[in-house]
Chains A and B, each alone.
Chain A
Amino acid sequence: MSSGFEGISAMILNGVEIRDSFAEAFPMAGTRLIITADTPRWARTAAASLTGFATSVIGCGCEAAIERELPAAQTPDGRPGMSVLIFAMSLKDLKKVVPLRVGQCVLTSPTSACYAGLEGGAAVPLGRALRYFGDGHQIAKSIESRRFWRLPVMEGEFVCDEIVGSTTGAVGGGNFLILARSRAAALAAAEAAVEAMGRVEGAVMPFPGGVVRSGSKVGGKYAGMIASTNDAYCPTLRGAVPSALPPEVESVLEIVIDGLTEGDVAASMRAGISAVCALGAPAGVVAVDAGNYGGNLGPFHFKLRELMAPVAGGSIA
C-alpha cells in the first residue's frame, strides 16, 4: 500500500482517505452458542434460522450472526457445528432472547444440538428454560456439576446445556463507512471487508450479509422515530442538506460490528478497513469514515486513524 500526503494532516492508504473520525460504541451483554448437527448443511440451517431477523436491537430484540463454522473435532459432541454470537442491550434481555431463539429455531431444526460457547459470567438459561417442552419426559444429566438436558422429540432427542455463560463487557455499534465512486464499487469493497472480518473471532456483523445500506442517525423530524436516514451521507441529498460527501462519492455503505470484547471489535474494524484499502482508489473507494454521536453517549471510541496506524506504518502526515 502506498501512502501519500494531502493537506495539513491526512492518512491515505492506497488512495483511500482514512478520515479523522471515530466510531462510538456501547456496552452490551453477549454470549456465544455452539450449534451442532449431523451434517454441516443442517448446522448452518439452524444457525441461519436462529440469527435471522436479528439485525438491530431497535426492532429485533437482539443482534446476532454466525461467527464461524466449526469442524466436527472442535465441537462438544464431535459433530459438524457453527458458532453464533448473540448480543442484547442488557443481561435481562439476553436471558429472554437466547432461550426464545434456540427454542424456535434450533430445537426445531433436524438433528441439532445446542451448547454453551462461553463460560463464566451470569448464567443465561438454555435447557433450564426449554426443558418444559419435554412435557415431563425430559431428562437431565449432571456430570461434574455441569448439567445438560435431553428432550424427547419426534426425530430422536434434542440435547442442550442447561445454561450458557455471558459477558457484560461486550461492545456493540463498532462501525465504518465506505465512501465510493459508485454503488458497485461500494458493494465490492463491502464484500471484501466482510470476507476479511469473517476470519476475526469474537466479532460479528449483524446486518444483512454484514452490510447496512441505510445507515441511520439518531431521531428525526417525526415524533417517535428512534432513527432515521443519515442524510449527511445520502448522495442524492448532497447540496440540499449539509453533506459529509465530496462530489466524487456516489454511494456509501456501512458495516456495523458487535464483539464480545472491545479488542475483538477493534480487530474486526482493522481487518475490514484494511480489506477496503487493499482494493483502494483503483477500485473506486474514496474514503473511510465512521459514525458517532459526538462522543458523549457511548463509552467506546474506535478512532479510525489509531486503528489503522499500524497498517499505515506510521504514515500519518
Chain B
Amino acid sequence: MSSHRLIPRAPLAARVDLTGITPAALAGLAAGEVARLGVPFGAGTVPLGDLFHVEPEAGDILLLGGDPRLDFVGAGLASGEIVVDGPVGVHAGSGMSGGRLVVRGDAGDDLAAGLEGGRIEVTGSAGANVGGARPGDRQGMTGGAVRVAGAVGRRLGARLRGGLILVGGDAGPQAADGLIAGTLAVAGALGAGAGRGMKRGTLLLASPPTSLAPGFVDAGPQDFIMLALLARRVPELAALFGGRLSQRANRLVGNRLAGGEGEVLVLQ
C-alpha cells in the first residue's frame, strides 16, 4: 500500500477546502491523477497540482505540508492516517469518523467540529470552537478523542455530545457552553464564563477556575474512583496532568440554571 505527499508550492493566496482528500480517496491513484483532482480554492476550483507538489510516498500515511489557509484537512476521514507538517486552517478533522489526524503546528477555528470517531493530535494551539458544532448542526462532537498540546480559543467543547478533548495549555472564555455530554480536560487556566447552559458531561481542571458562568453549586471534595479508572484507561489524561491526577477532586455541579447535572472537577 502506498500513499502520497502534498507540499504547497507557495504560501496559499486564498483558502483551500481539502474535504475528501483522504488516504482512502487517493488509494491506488498515481501522483499525476491526484494532481488532477479539483479542490475549491478561493471562489473557484483548481487542480491540486496547481497548488501542491504531489509525490508518491511509501507507507500508508498521507503527508501534507501545512498552511494556515488549508481548511477542512481530514474532514470526513473514516480510516487511515493524515500527518500535517505545519499549521492548518479551519475545520480540521471536521466530521471525522475514524482514523488519525496529526497536525504538527497550530490549528484554526472549528478543530474537530462534529467529530464522531478517531483521534486528532495537534502539537501547537487551536482556535475557537474545538469539538463544537458544524454550521447547521444542533450538537457538537459526538465521539473520538482530541488532544491539543497548546492552548485553545473560546468556546471549547460548545454543545459537545460525547468524546474526549485534552488541552495541555489554557482554554479561552466560554468553554463547555451548552455541553451535553463528554469529557473536557484542561491542564492550563480556564477562561471566564465556562459552563453556561451545561447539561451533563465533565470539565476536568488542574486548578480552580477564576470565574465560571453563574449556576454552579459546590458539592465539595471527594475521592473519585472514576478518576483512578480514567487515569489507567486513558494514559494521556494522566500524562496531561503530569502525575497530579489522583482520585481527589472538588466537584461543582451545574449548570443548575439550565437544570443540568454536569460537573466541573477541580483536581486537589
Interface residues of A (CB under 8 A from B): 76-79, 113, 137, 139-146, 148, 150, 156-157, 159
Contacts and interface: CB of A to CB of B under 8 A. Distances in A.
B229 A159 contact: yes
B145 A142 contact: no
Contacts of B117: 145
A243 B228 CA distance: 59
Interface stretch (B63-71, B74-82, B100-108, B218-226): B218-226
B228 A140 contact: no
B230 interface: yes
Most buried by A among B223, B229, B231: B229
A68 to B, nearest CB: 20
Q: Is the interface of A mostly helix, strand, loop or mixed?
A: strand
B261 A142 contact: no
B225 A79 contact: yes
A142 B162 contact: yes
B228 A78 contact: yes
Contacts of B202: 139, 141
12 contacts: A77-B228, A77-B232, A78-B231, A113-B229, A137-B261, A139-B200, A141-B230, A142-B143, A143-B164, A156-B222, A157-B224, A157-B226
B11 to A, nearest CB: 37
Given A141-B183, A141-B202, A142-B143, A150 B230 contact: no
B145 A144 contact: yes
B115 interface: no
B228 A79 contact: yes
Interface string B230-251: 1111100000000000000000
Given A139-B200, A140-B181, A142-B143, A156 B223 contact: yes
Contacts of A137: 261
Interface residues of B, number: 25
Given A139-B200, A140-B181, A143-B164, A159 B226 contact: yes
A20 to B, nearest CB: 51
Interface in B184-236: 200, 202, 222-226, 228-234
Given A142-B163, A144-B233, A145-B117, 15 more contacts: A76-B233, A77-B225, A77-B232, A78-B228, A78-B231, A137-B261, A139-B263, A141-B202, A142-B143, A142-B182, A143-B230, A150-B226, A156-B225, A157-B222, A157-B225
A159 B163 CA distance: 19
A143 B233 contact: yes
Contacts of A146: 233
Nearest to B223: A156
Contacts of B224: 156-157
A152 to B, nearest CB: 10
Contacts of A156: 222-225
Given A145-B143, A157-B226, A159-B225, A78 B232 contact: yes
A142 B163 CA distance: 7
Contacts of B222: 156-157
